[in-house]
């Protein structure tokens, strides 16, 4: 069946674009290491709008609309399905580096996860509000996207936190902070990511947007990204990860 | 002819102690029985007016001890909405002397109220003894219990390490549990819980009760922290509402303040190293400027300034570094750097020339399979 997608977003869009681009260049079934995430879907078309460009700055007009070029791209889009990869790294602002003093919180969706009693307890609601403040521009963009197009809109959950060893090897541009303070415990980073995802989940429900979770196959049992899904930096997924997301997207929208 | 008034100083005479001064310069506080040094760790508690005192202490060169601070990743305004930094620990407003004593009893395991949690909206857990400490309450039972444990530990640390305790008495009216006498800062049903006349009753504390609670508190603290000194003030902020049926709110308010004022004086008279500071008089006297805002209840910043100038004159004369703000500033700087780094990181990913099969990212271009 022929389907067309319009994907827009920022840095996390890149992994998806590379997965799709590599496959397109190969001209057929994707080569290794994409064998685990075949994207064979004849007739499928994908259009990518990478907002991480000065061309689209500022993203919002003073009247609260999208940048005119983004507005035009959406107005002329004939895609059946529009996909948001907007935002998604704000959990790392708080969760990547071990901001002193050490802290922890009770994740409302999974309150029985271990709690570090030696760390400073912070209220989940307070952390939620801080994340809410940080992701507000992305949710605003998501709402504009929803309002701009007819048909189905899907938002893709941001990649899970990356493993500590990987971050340590690819710590730039956070190298100074990480060297000075260390990396936050994996469980804390996972909890913050979940809290962050919960805010997008709620926004999606309010806006009538479907949420596509990050692929379980790319996470270890503790919810951290598997090493082979990591881009050589501290926060992003790579093309293999992107391939898994695209595969999941095709299934989700089948 | 000799008589005792001849030995009195200027402050004893209205003409010289009040009328002779610019209203903004009247200082009814006599030299305090003890002074505060920059090394003294000061803990604050009390009614809403007391929230004006804490943030001004560092600016006076004094050490405002905070044993339950917000994590520095949070902006100050958000922290304040969650009850951080208003007082030394996150107990919220302690309006009555009984609340203060009860807190002390609870943190040392001497009293465990039977009604110790209320239901809030969407299943939230509300702490009946600080019902507005979080805008929507605690989200889970686990968090509620863990936070209360941490809060109690922070209060114990404050009580055991403080050199000076400043308490601002606010109310005599309260609501309490009939079962065990536990007092609540707000009537059940106002900010959580359900008001039930079979379980809850109104009580208006008397002078003797307030004084006894203050003395019991001082004694309880000194058993653990013998050198601690105490400063009591009375909030000039009138009652927002009275539960009495026999009095106008203005009359009920004046009665409450009179009780608190007398009880504070009587308590101070019975314990050494304790002092009364006349914040109430500075704000409410007809001789000083009108220091109430348009609602005739909120105290204006100019009024708070007057109070704190007098406080400084009575108790201080030194300056101290503002260590308490340094951690927060450092974290805010770091977060700003990380925001920039994250932006750079994201930009770099999009433009990474080393990434396999790199070509410039298309914008709105089809990439058919």
What pLDDT was estimated at residue B172?
A: 98
Is residue B326 classed exposed, middle or buried when 0-12, 13-18 and 19+ CB atoms within 10 A define those classes? exposed
Residue B354 has pLDDT above 70, yes or no: no
What pLDDT was estimated at residue A1?
A: 62
Same structural domain, B251 and B333: no
Is residue A32 classed exposed, middle or buried when 0-12, 13-18 and 19+ CB atoms within 10 A define those classes? exposed
For B126-129, which contacts have Cβ atoms below 8 Å and span 24 or more sequence positions? B126/B191, B126/B192, B126/B193, B128/B182, B128/B184, B128/B188, B128/B192, B128/B193, B129/B91, B129/B99, B129/B102, B129/B103, B129/B182, B129/B184, B129/B185
Q: What percentage of chain B has pLDDT greater than the value 90?
A: 78
Collect all residues of chain B within an 8 Å Cβ-Cβ radius of residue A171: none
Instruction: Say if CB B38 and CB B320 are below 8 A apart.
Output: yes
Is residue B366 assigned to a domain? no
Cβ contact A111–B337 (<8 Å): no
Is residue B13 assigned to a domain? no
Quick one: DSSP state of residue B195? -
Collect all residues of chain A within an 8 Å Cβ-Cβ radius of residue B335: 93, 99
Same structural domain, B39 and B154: yes
Report the number of distinct structural domains present in chain B.
2
Same structural domain, B172 and B42: yes
Quick one: pLDDT band at residue B325, thresholds 50, 70, 90? very low
- CA neighbor of A41 nearest in space, from A59, A20, A57: A20
Same structural domain, B257 and B344: no
Same structural domain, B193 and B261: yes
Report the number of distinct structural domains present in chain A.
1
Same structural domain, B213 and B93: yes
Same structural domain, B304 and B336: no
Instruction: Say if CB B213 and CB B203 are below 8 A apart.
Output: no
Q: What percentage of chain A has pLDDT greater than the value 90?
A: 80
Range picked from A50-59, A195-204, B184-193 for highest mean pLDDT: A195-204
Same structural domain, B310 and B329: no
- A141-145, A151-155, B193-197, B317-321: segment of lowest average pLDDT: B317-321
What pLDDT was estimated at residue B120?
A: 87
Quick one: pLDDT band at residue B329, thresholds 50, 70, 90? low
CATH code of the domain covering residue A10: 3.40.50.1110
Residue A71 has pLDDT above 70, yes or no: yes
Rounded CA gap, A93 and A43, in Å?
Answer: 39
Is residue B92 assigned to a domain? yes
Work out the average pLDDT over B247-251: 96
Same structural domain, B239 and B330: no
Work out the average pLDDT over B251-264: 98
Other CB atoms within 10 A of residue B18 CB:
17
Does A103 touch chain B if contact means CB atoms closer than 8 Å? Answer: yes
Q: Bigger pLDDT: A19 or B244?
A: B244
Cβ contact A125–B82 (<8 Å): yes
Range of the domain at B88: 25-319
Same structural domain, B314 and B338: no
pLDDT tens figures, B258-284: 999 999 999 999 999 999 999 999 999
- A119-133, B246-260, B344-358: segment of lowest average pLDDT: B344-358
Predicted complex: ipTM over 0.90: no
Is residue B367 assigned to a domain? no
Is residue B1 assigned to a domain? no
What pLDDT was estimated at residue A32?
A: 41
Is residue B357 assigned to a domain? no
Cα dihedral A18/A21/A25/A29 (nearest 10): 90
Residue B322 has pLDDT above 60, yes or no: no
Collect all residues of chain A within an 8 Å Cβ-Cβ radius of residue B329: none
Does B14 touch chain A if contact means CB atoms closer than 8 Å? Answer: no
Work out the average pLDDT over B302-308: 94
What pLDDT was estimated at residue A40?
A: 53
Same structural domain, B246 and B219: yes
Quick one: pLDDT band at residue A41, thresholds 50, 70, 90? low
Tokens found for residue B325 = 């703000």
Same structural domain, B224 and B252: yes
Is residue B256 assigned to a domain? yes
Radius of gyration of chain A (CA): 18
Range of the domain at A65: 4-252
pLDDT tens figures, A152-178: 999 999 999 999 999 999 998 899 999
Does B345 touch chain A if contact means CB atoms closer than 8 Å? Answer: yes
Quick one: pLDDT band at residue A236, thresholds 50, 70, 90? very high
What pLDDT was estimated at residue A153?
A: 98
Residue B356 has pLDDT above 60, yes or no: no
Is residue B323 classed exposed, middle or buried when 0-12, 13-18 and 19+ CB atoms within 10 A define those classes? exposed
Quick one: pLDDT band at residue B317, thresholds 50, 70, 90? low
């Amino acid at each position: 069946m022929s389907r067309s997608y319009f994907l827009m977003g920022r840095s996390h869009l890149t992994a998806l674009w590379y997965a799709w681009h590599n496959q397109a260049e190969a001209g057929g079934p994707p080569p290794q290491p994409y064998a685990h995430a075949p994207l064979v879907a004849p007739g499928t078309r994908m259009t990518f709008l990478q907002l991480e460009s000065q061309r689209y700055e500022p993203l919002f007009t003073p009247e609260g609309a999208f940048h005119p070029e983004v507005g035009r791209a959406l107005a002329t889009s004939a895609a059946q399905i529009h996909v948001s990869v907007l935002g998604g790294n704000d959990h790392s602002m708080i969760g990547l580096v071990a901001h002193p003093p050490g802290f922890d919180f009770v994740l409302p969706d999974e309150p029985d996860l271990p709690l570090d009693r030696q760390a400073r307890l912070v209220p989940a609601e307070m952390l939620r509000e801080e994340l809410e403040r940080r992701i507000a521009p992305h949710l605003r963009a998501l709402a504009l996207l929803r309002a701009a197009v007819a048909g189905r809109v899907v938002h893709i959950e941001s990649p899970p936190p990356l493993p500590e060893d990987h971050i340590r090897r690819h710590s730039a541009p956070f190298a100074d902070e990480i060297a000075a303070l260390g990396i936050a415990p994996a469980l804390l980073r996972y909890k913050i990511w979940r809290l962050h995802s919960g805010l997008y989940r709620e926004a999606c429900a309010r806006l009538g947007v479907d949420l596509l979770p990050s692929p379980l196959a790319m996470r270890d049992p503790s919810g951290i990204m598997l090493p082979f899904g990591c881009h050589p930096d501290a926060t992003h997924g790579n093309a293999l990860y992107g391939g898994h997301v695209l595969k999941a997207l095709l299934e989700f929208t089948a | 002819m000799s008589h005792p008034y001849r030995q009195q100083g200027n402050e004893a005479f209205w003409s010289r102690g009040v009328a002779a001064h610019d209203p903004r310069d009247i200082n009814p506080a006599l030299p305090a029985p003890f002074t505060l040094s920059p090394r003294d760790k000061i803990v604050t508690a009390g009614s809403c007016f007391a929230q004006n005192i804490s943030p001004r202490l560092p600016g006076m060169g004094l050490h405002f001890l905070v044993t339950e601070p917000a994590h520095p990743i949070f902006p100050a305004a958000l922290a304040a909405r969650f009850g951080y930094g208003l007082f030394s620990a996150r107990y919220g407003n302690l309006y009555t002397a009984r609340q203060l004593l009860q807190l002390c009893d609870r943190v040392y395991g001497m009293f465990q109220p039977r009604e110790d949690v209320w239901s809030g909206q969407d299943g939230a857990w509300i702490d009946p003894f600080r019902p507005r400490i979080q805008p929507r309450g605690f989200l889970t039972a686990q968090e509620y219990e863990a936070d209360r444990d941490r809060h109690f530990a922070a209060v114990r640390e404050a009580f055991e390490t403080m050199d000076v305790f400043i308490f601002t008495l606010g109310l005599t009216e309260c609501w309490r549990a009939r079962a065990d006498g536990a007092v609540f800062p707000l009537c059940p049903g106002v900010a959580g819980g359900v008001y039930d006349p079979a379980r809850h009753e109104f009580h208006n504390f008397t002078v003797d009760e307030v004084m006894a609670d203050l003395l019991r508190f001082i004694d309880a603290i000194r058993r653990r922290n013998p050198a601690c000194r105490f400063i009591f003030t009375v909030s000039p902020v009138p009652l927002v509402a009275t539960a009495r049926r026999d009095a106008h709110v203005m009359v009920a308010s004046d009665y409450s303040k009179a009780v608190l004022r007398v009880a504070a004086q009587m308590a101070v008279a019975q314990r050494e190293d304790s002092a009364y500071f006349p914040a109430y008089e500075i704000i409410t006297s007809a001789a000083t400027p009108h220091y109430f805002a348009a609602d005739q209840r909120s105290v204006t910043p100019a009024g708070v300034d007057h109070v704190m100038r007098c406080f400084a004159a009575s108790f201080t004369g030194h300056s101290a570094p503002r260590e308490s703000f340094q951690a927060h500033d450092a974290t805010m700087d770091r977060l700003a750097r990380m925001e920039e780094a994250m932006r750079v990181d994201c930009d770099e990913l999009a433009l990474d020339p080393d990434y396999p099969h790199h070509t410039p990212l298309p914008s709105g271009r089809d990439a058919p399979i």
